[in-house]
A and B are shown apart, each in its own frame.
Chain A
Amino acid sequence: MIDPVTLAVIQAGLQQVCDEMDMTFSRAAFSPVIAEADDRSDGIYSATDGSLIAQGSKGLPVFVGVMQFSTRTILERIAAGVTAPPEEGDIYIVNDPYLGGTHLMDVRFAMPVWRGGRIFCWLSNTGHWPDTGGAVPGGFSASAISAEQEGLRIPPVKLFKKGVLDPEIYQIICSNIRVSEQRIGDVKAQASALLVGAERLGALLDRYGDATVIEAIAEMRRLAARQMRAMIGLIPERVYRATAIVDSDGVVNEPLTIALAVTKAGGGLSFDFSGSSRPCMGPMNSVRATTLSSVYLAIRHIFPDVPISAGAFEPLEVVGIEGTFLDAHYPRPVSGCAAEVSQRIAEVVFAALVQAVPGHVTAAPAGTSGNFGLGGNDPEKGRDYVMYQISGGGYGGFAGGDGIANGCSTIGISKAPPVEIMEQNFPVIYRRYALHEGSGGAGEHRGGFGLDYEIELLRGEARASFVMDHGRVGPQGALGGKDGAVNRVEVIRDGVVMVPEHLSKAQDIALKPGDRVRVRTPGGGGYGDPAKRDPALVAEDVRLGRYTAEEAARLWPGLREG
């Protein structure tokens, strides 16, 4: 049996291999989505079943565990003779959502690590490409009704053969995507990250021996499962229920429901989603791999100490998704799964488990990526552009304090671009970039504040699209706390205010110079009974203009100042 010291050292070593892959990928990438927003992830996967061995700690959270599904698919297809078997130096590419993926823009590379002519394990990474074709630039169509409208779908094929980029496949890809000239930089960065990983992993194997590392990997998996079970041990045996609402699918203006019942049994947790809405017409469907990853990432937010590995997921069972919009199949459109539906899934997990382990979970965070896309032609620069404004929102209150303002999406870790950089690149001017006053949900610990921004188009005509959420109901309060404020979108054309029919989702709204778009993102949910809040804190928030006196009196009735 492997000694505990070597085990811990090898675990740290494998983690460093992944972290270094993450860093190489981000620093070398061209696309700001990867380079600045870190919308990428790298990991090590089992050669036998693709299960997750280790994953970079700075990877985008929505990718927790997700590449084990795509890696497994590649292995199964190779075994079935559908996909050509690997040779040394080969790297596969795949972005098919229905083959263990997310949305089309998340392009995965997978490469075997060879030892003595045999495959020791796989390295895989995902990068969010800025475009993969389809009806709208960037791929976030709010109204697609089939996969083909969303972009180019690539099954697992070898993009690099024996270390050399296949120019033919590459040309096919480039002919089907926008702004393809710079993609070569991202492709090389994504491959380079895997090569760096293989080199570092090789050094680790040389040092400790392949057999010892295999033993360590098995033991790591066992210990991670044990650690997750120990955390689950904190949860009283009961059924915990919660629901969350997606505003609409973007096409049919009706809410979608995620219903969850969490049951603790046999030392594990079962997440039953039966009763959730049926697959939808518009792009707010999720695929199985993304749904599972969303549950995993929510659990990791609750128990961040447990390492990300297949072992940690063993005690977690997800059932009842068949026939719901959380397990959509081809050709259902899925572009909203990674950015929005995933966050509603995380929210429903938080809402269920805050009842069980209130010290570990917050009230609901804003939980939307706040994607506002603007496309048009800038006459001053004489070129077309596609602008994305992503934004944060308030976090939920928690046992230890109030939620923070303008936090990153639940599934992301990226920074939003500065206003000055946006104005350098696009023909817009921001009239406001401020706290969404009054938006934090009331509670003993209030929710954090959302963002309130207003953008004016300066030149040329443009079309605005929105893929956001929480327009119907705000992020849920917990344990007596109130919901945070809803997301609000207003389009101001010729001085007339228009609210999109679907509130948080809309496609191709025509704008001309002088027109404005105002977005107020959700505040976080409140935590605990508002009556228990320290009146001095309420007074301080009023003094700082975060709530008006009237708002405070309404949200915290009965509390007197001072």
Chain B
Amino acid sequence: MTGLVAGVDVGGTFTDLVVFDPASGAVRLAKVPTTLPNQSGGVLAAFEAAGANLSGIDLIVHGTTTTTNAVLERQLAKTGFVTTLGFRDVLELGRRTRPQAYGMHGAFTPIIPRDLRLEVPERMDARGRVVTPLDEGALRAAVQRLREAGCEAIVIHLLHAYANPAHELRAGEIAAENWPNDYITLGHKLLSESREYERGVTAAVNASVQPLLERYVARLADQLAARGYARDLLVMNGNGGMVAAKDVAKEAVKTVMSGPASGVMAAVATGRRAGITNLLTYDMGGTSTDVAMIRGGVAPVSNEIEVEYAMPIHVPMVDVRTVGAGGGSIARIDAGGMLRVGPESAGSDPGPVCYGRGGTRVTISDANLILGRLPASRFGQAAEAAYAAMREQIAVPLVLSVEAAAEAVIRIANTHMAGAIRMVSISMGADPRDFALFAFGGAGPLHAVALAKELNVPKVLIPARPGITNALGCVVADLRHDFVRTLNRPLDSVDMAEVHGVLAAQEAEGRRLIGLEKIALTSIRAEYSADMQFVGQTHLLRVTLPSALPDREDLQSRFEAAYHARFRVDLPTIRANLVNLNVSVIGERPALDLSRLIDPEGRKEGAEPSATRRVWFDGWRDTPVYWRDHLPLRIGLQGPAVIEQMDTTVVVDPGARVTSDADGNLIIEVNK
């Protein structure tokens, strides 16, 4: 490959672009405001801002929140739903839940309204035997009705189609005869597992965002082509891989969680080059924080993500957990007199008091400003308002100084975030001492060192460009196809030849799909795993398999070991169930040189602070402030220190030690 490769990610506020020149190693960056509702304006503006000539670019990988926003705001394409007689309300009834454990209030809007959900006579039993044949006349009538109602997409979701898809396939053929486009989603195609609500929602979301994604991506591809881009546009998927733009809409649902996934993929790539393969990723933004655990350089994947209340999307996606704490989280004194931080958030509008956009309630960002961790100069008059708000709302009621109040807010916020990270890592049997905290997002590096201390994590890794991590994730992502096959049988009654056959067939299909893409690859590899449980259990544990030819006792003993690692429980008398077989086929792209994400020309000889300011660490400390782009590649700084850059601020607590690696990542060793 001689041309440039570009990653462009659209976030809630900014659209970020990173362009690599593999020949010279040169990097260009841009950050421009996101344009809504059509995100392509921002994408094109980013290329302009970076001065990147599109005709010289070989590959563009795009991360978009088009589908995420559509689902969360229910701005969906009009979609019809055809299902088994007696079951049209499944999408509205859910699994009998409520939005929160306490409080009987709440609302829920089904993904497809009741008048567009129709039923046809047909029925399979749980073993896939026909109980009632498909009424093709009724099906034709239903399709016609939905077409007349103005539906653009259609879902066919029949009971037990995972066990026998014959009716669903036939219904799909009939629908295709009378449907003006390809937007026909069959429930079992995306997810061939039982659970009618989860499979139905997954299919319904897919259909409802399909036209929107296809239109958006097609228009963007046209606009890029008109500006000289001659290759395929690729789009990030929630599984951390990318897929050709022309194909992405077929399984549009897979893009719903692609934003957080790309951040994790950037962490994997950065960590691999840095020789750190166990990472806890920590992406703190304005309203929420995303965390994930990477072990052995492999991104965690889950088939059971819920994007919001009662909105499960059960396709393989990078397992990122979101916590409702961000820079905008509001601090308050509750009626008992206890200091609380979050879950209420000022968001980005009006935002923290210090933004000066009308926010009146004091937030985590205000606390960071008051403690000198953020530069007061950036906030002008509003800095004083933040100080006053902290005094009034927190310091006076608690009889603390304003600084002590701000410090309290940070400590409580850190306790909550550490708790969230603990739940995805230490609670899952991981030892924090084996990990580094990979901090990014606008606010992550402000809190990372303190959090690492709280968690007993010895090291923090701050990538070169924390604010464009998602765009970097797009550009380093591999091609990836995931397959899940449900067996759900006792291990002892499984035919091992069938297991080997399934794994081999999945791998072959993945290799075939990857072979169709015209993308330079260095290798194609497959990862195998099994989802297992003890007979009689309902939860699953994922067990990694070293090859596609496991034997029975190997599966049992690997499962038992994983179970022990997770729960410290041995159950030697109980055998295992083999529930799912999973294969991921990954086409690895040539590694990019990340060492020039910070321009070497801008680096200076010695590490000289650009300023000194007072920062609060258990008291005011005169603290050197460094401009990150000016730091030499080899440094050895001792905290306290503040390192600033365009898109974030790194706070180094007293006693912590900062070095940098060849890529310009900051490695902060946290003292105990």
By a beta-carbon cutoff of 8 Å, the part of chain A in contact with chain B is 4-5, 7-9, 11-13, 15-16, 19-20, 23-24, 26-30, 32, 35-36, 57-58, 61, 182, 184-185, 188-189, 192, 195, 220, 223-228, 230-231, 300-301, 304-306, 350, 362, 365, 390-392, 395-396, 398, 400-408, 410, 413, 415-416, 418-421, 423-424, 429-435, 451, 454, 458, 543-546
0/1 string, B659-671, CB within 8 A of A gives 1: 0000000000000
Residues of the A chain whose Cβ atoms lie less than 8 Å from the Cβ of B218: none
- Are A30's CB and B86's CB within 8 A? no
- Residue of B196, B336, B539 with highest tally of chain A CB at under 10 A: B336
- Are A433's CB and B536's CB within 8 A? no
State in angstroms the CA–CA spacing of A451 and B95 once bound together. 11
0/1 string, B156-186, CB within 8 A of A gives 1: 0001101000000000000000000000000
CB closest residue in chain B, given A451: B93
- Are A543's CB and B408's CB within 8 A? no
Specify which of A9, A396, A543 is in contact with B115 (CB 8 Å cutoff).
Answer: A543
Give the interface segment out of B41-49, B52-60, B231-239, B411-419: B411-419
Residues of the B chain whose Cβ atoms lie less than 8 Å from the Cβ of A20: 422-423, 427
- Are A301's CB and B103's CB within 8 A? yes
By a beta-carbon cutoff of 8 Å, the part of chain B in contact with chain A is 86-90, 92-108, 113-115, 123, 125-126, 131, 159-160, 162, 194-198, 334-340, 398, 400, 404, 407-408, 411-412, 415-416, 419, 422-423, 427, 534-539, 566-569, 571, 573-574
CB closest residue in chain B, given A432: B86
CB closest residue in chain B, given A448: B108
Pull 25 A–B residue pairs with CB atoms less than 8 Å apart, ordered by A.
A4-B400, A8-B339, A8-B408, A9-B412, A13-B415, A16-B422, A24-B427, A57-B101, A188-B569, A188-B571, A189-B569, A223-B338, A301-B103, A304-B100, A304-B102, A304-B103, A362-B104, A395-B98, A406-B94, A415-B95, A416-B95, A418-B196, A418-B197, A429-B131, A543-B115
Specify which of B89, B98, B114, B398 is in contact with A4 (CB 8 Å cutoff).
Answer: B398
Q: Check A392/B415 contact, CB under 8 A, given A304-B103, A423-B160.
A: no
CB closest residue in chain B, given A433: B87
Q: Using A32-B538, A419-B87, A454-B86 as known contacts, list a sample of 8 further A-B pairs with CB atoms less than 8 Å apart, ordered by residue number in A.
A: A8-B415, A19-B419, A35-B539, A226-B335, A226-B336, A398-B105, A405-B93, A451-B93
Q: Check A226/B423 contact, CB under 8 A, given A184-B573, A192-B568, A421-B194.
A: no
Q: Check A407/B334 contact, CB under 8 A, given A24-B427, A429-B123.
A: no
Majority secondary structure of chain B interface residues (helix, strand, loop or mixed) = loop
- Are B93's CB and A406's CB within 8 A? yes
- Are A185's CB and B536's CB within 8 A? yes
CB closest residue in chain B, given A402: B107
CB closest residue in chain B, given A224: B336
State in angstroms the CA–CA spacing of A421 and B126 once bound together. 8
Residues of the A chain whose Cβ atoms lie less than 8 Å from the Cβ of B408: 4-5, 8
Specify which of B107, B338, B419, B537 is in contact with A35 (CB 8 Å cutoff).
Answer: B537
Q: Check A27/B567 contact, CB under 8 A, given A8-B412, A305-B334.
A: yes
State in angstroms the CA–CA spacing of A243 and B567 once bound together. 46
- Are B93's CB and A23's CB within 8 A? no
Residues of the B chain whose Cβ atoms lie less than 8 Å from the Cβ of A19: 419, 423
Q: Check A404/B537 contact, CB under 8 A, given A416-B96, A435-B89.
A: no
Specify which of A30, A225, A406, A419 is in contact with B537 (CB 8 Å cutoff).
Answer: A30
Instruction: Say how far A128's CB is from chain B's closest CB, in angstroms.
Output: 14
Q: Check A434/B97 contact, CB under 8 A, given A7-B338, A227-B335.
A: no
Residues of the A chain whose Cβ atoms lie less than 8 Å from the Cβ of B535: 182
Q: Check A300/B102 contact, CB under 8 A, given A8-B340, A20-B423, A23-B427.
A: yes
- Are B97's CB and A195's CB within 8 A? no
Instruction: Say how far B302's CB is from chain A's closest CB, in angstroms.
Output: 14
State in angstroms the CA–CA spacing of A496 and B108 once bound together. 38
Residues of the A chain whose Cβ atoms lie less than 8 Å from the Cβ of B107: 401-402, 404
Closest 6 CB pairs of A and B: A227-B336, A392-B96, A230-B335, A415-B95, A223-B336, A432-B86
State in angstroms the CA–CA spacing of A27 and B562 once bound together. 13
State in angstroms the CA–CA spacing of A305 and B539 once bound together. 31
Residues of the B chain whose Cβ atoms lie less than 8 Å from the Cβ of A404: 98-99, 106-108
State in angstroms the CA–CA spacing of A266 and B503 once bound together. 70
State in angstroms the CA–CA spacing of A30 and B93 once bound together. 27
State in angstroms the CA–CA spacing of A182 and B538 once bound together. 13
CB closest residue in chain A, given B193: A420
Specify which of B106, B194, B534 is in contact with A420 (CB 8 Å cutoff).
Answer: B194
Instruction: Say how far B564's CB is from chain A's closest CB, in angstroms.
Output: 11
Residues of the A chain whose Cβ atoms lie less than 8 Å from the Cβ of B415: 8-9, 12-13
Q: Check A544/B113 contact, CB under 8 A, given A188-B569, A226-B336.
A: yes
- Residue of A5, A30, A305, A406 with highest tally of chain B CB at under 10 A: A5
Instruction: Say how far B617's CB is from chain A's closest CB, in angstroms.
Output: 14
State in angstroms the CA–CA spacing of A435 and B113 once bound together. 13
- Are A420's CB and B159's CB within 8 A? yes
CB closest residue in chain B, given A25: B567
Residues of the B chain whose Cβ atoms lie less than 8 Å from the Cβ of A362: 104-105
- Are A12's CB and B105's CB within 8 A? no
Residues of the A chain whose Cβ atoms lie less than 8 Å from the Cβ of B89: 433-435
- Are B126's CB and A423's CB within 8 A? yes
State in angstroms the CA–CA spacing of A420 and B90 once bound together. 12
Residues of the A chain whose Cβ atoms lie less than 8 Å from the Cβ of B422: 16, 20
Residues of the A chain whose Cβ atoms lie less than 8 Å from the Cβ of B123: 429
- Are A391's CB and B86's CB within 8 A? no
CB closest residue in chain B, given A406: B93
State in angstroms the CA–CA spacing of A562 and B537 once bound together. 53
Residues of the A chain whose Cβ atoms lie less than 8 Å from the Cβ of B536: 30, 182, 185
Residues of the A chain whose Cβ atoms lie less than 8 Å from the Cβ of B404: 5
- Residue of B93, B160, B411 with highest tally of chain A CB at under 10 A: B93
State in angstroms the CA–CA spacing of A305 and B101 once bound together. 12
Residues of the A chain whose Cβ atoms lie less than 8 Å from the Cβ of B88: 434
Instruction: Say how far B364's CB is from chain A's closest CB, in angstroms.
Output: 14
Residues of the B chain whose Cβ atoms lie less than 8 Å from the Cβ of A413: 97-98, 101
- Are A435's CB and B196's CB within 8 A? no
CB closest residue in chain B, given A390: B96
- Are A420's CB and B195's CB within 8 A? yes
Specify which of A11, A304, A365, A433 is in contact with B338 (CB 8 Å cutoff).
Answer: A11
State in angstroms the CA–CA spacing of A505 and B523 once bound together. 65
- Are B335's CB and A61's CB within 8 A? no
State in angstroms the CA–CA spacing of A391 and B97 once bound together. 10
Instruction: Say how far A58's CB is from chain B's closest CB, in angstroms.
Output: 7
Q: Check A420/B411 contact, CB under 8 A, given A407-B97, A435-B89.
A: no
Residues of the B chain whose Cβ atoms lie less than 8 Å from the Cβ of A9: 411-412, 415
Instruction: Say how far A383's CB is from chain B's closest CB, in angstroms.
Output: 14
Q: Check A192/B412 contact, CB under 8 A, given A227-B336, A421-B194, A433-B93.
A: no
Specify which of B101, B160, B162, B338 is in contact with A61 (CB 8 Å cutoff).
Answer: B101
Residues of the B chain whose Cβ atoms lie less than 8 Å from the Cβ of A401: 105, 107
Instruction: Say how far A159's CB is from chain B's closest CB, in angstroms.
Output: 15
Residues of the A chain whose Cβ atoms lie less than 8 Å from the Cβ of B195: 418, 420-421
State in angstroms the CA–CA spacing of A8 and B92 once bound together. 40
State in angstroms the CA–CA spacing of A218 and B103 once bound together. 27
Residues of the A chain whose Cβ atoms lie less than 8 Å from the Cβ of B398: 4
State in angstroms the CA–CA spacing of A410 and B537 once bound together. 26
CB closest residue in chain B, given A222: B336
Residues of the B chain whose Cβ atoms lie less than 8 Å from the Cβ of A398: 104-105
Specify which of A5, A58, A230 is in contact with B339 (CB 8 Å cutoff).
Answer: A5
- Are A424's CB and B95's CB within 8 A? no
CB closest residue in chain B, given A300: B102
Residues of the A chain whose Cβ atoms lie less than 8 Å from the Cβ of B198: 418
Instruction: Say how far B670's CB is from chain A's closest CB, in angstroms.
Output: 15
Instruction: Say how far B105's CB is from chain A's closest CB, in angstroms.
Output: 5
Residues of the A chain whose Cβ atoms lie less than 8 Å from the Cβ of B568: 192, 195
State in angstroms the CA–CA spacing of A408 and B106 once bound together. 12
